[in-house]
Amino acid sequence: MNILKGIGAVVAGIIFIVVTHTGTDFVLQSLGIFSPTTERFDTTWMVVTATVYRSIFNIGGGYVTAALAPESKMLYVIVLGLIGTIMGIAGAIVLIPLNLGPAWYPIALVVLGFPCVWLGGKLRTRKAA
């Protein structure tokens, strides 16, 4: 039963991250702050802003996972981080050749993803202790 709770915690972390990333992108594009998806995403302040808020949401995803996970909370946070890293690498492999933006952006998301998720988990487990 604990494994199912752990899987649920990881899925909740993934859902949190995907919904917040996608929702923020949609709102910023709808308001005209970010360029639409049909245009190249390469204005430096936009890319840096997206990197920052995605990192913050990754911290939140790690926090959510740790909050919902049973014992060995950081194990489930690490699983979330590994899933995110694998998905980020896959995204970078697909996106970099499409030249939709600077190549450093998807690479930065891969490099920052795991540490941010881990930090979120640590913040939650430290608070609980």
Whether pLDDT at 1 is above 90: no
Q: What would the mean pLDDT of 38-53 be, rounded to a whole number?
A: 93
Q: What is the pTM of this model?
A: 0.94
The CA angle 127-112-124, to the nearest 5 degrees, is 10
CA distance linking residue 96 with residue 45, whole number of Å: 19
- Mean pLDDT (the chain) is 95
pLDDT digits (tens, 9 = 90+) for 100-109: 999 999 999 9
Counting residues of the chain whose pLDDT is more than 70, the rounded percentage is 98
Confidence of residue 18 (pLDDT cuts 50, 70, 90): very high
